[in-house]
Amino acid sequence: MKLDGQTGRVIAGIAVLIMLVLVGVLLVPPYVENFKLQRYLNDLDADEATARLPVDVIRANVVNKASELGLPVHGDDVRVVRSGDGALKIEVLYVVHVGLSVYTVDLHFRPGA
């Protein structure tokens, strides 16, 4: 069976689209979960009760939420700093490894509030 040039291009185009969809299916979920963690951090920052909590409790809450979301966040990845005026700064730095069939992609995330 011999394909003409146009049919070959259509098949190649469809193959490329399928590959893009598959890569998207693997890469989109970590971004969605990071968005959920960012929203949680924003809610923590907006809650006045959070400012009265000890830094270690805030850190543990962030790690627990990240764990619920399936994110690889550990206590060392969360930085909570209380400024002189009582304001909080929460920063999280973590990496998600996404294994594609050919190679692994490391997605670096840095949500904060």
Per-residue pLDDT of the chain (113 residues; tens, 9 = 90+): 566 778 878 888 998 898 888 878 888 999 999 999 999 999 998 888 888 899 999 999 999 999 999 999 999 999 999 887 778 899 999 999 988 777 888 999 999 98
Q: For residues 37 and 90, what is the distance between their CA atoms, to the nearest angstrom?
A: 12
Which tokens belong to 22? 């598959």
Three-state DSSP at 44 gives: helix
Residue 82 in any domain: the answer is yes
Residue 24 in any domain: the answer is no
The model carries a pTM of 0.81
Residue 80 in any domain: the answer is yes
Q: Considering its fold, how many domains does the chain have in total?
A: 1
Q: Which helix (H) or strand (E) holds 109?
A: strand 104-109
37: domain range? Answer: 29-109
Residue 23 in any domain: the answer is no
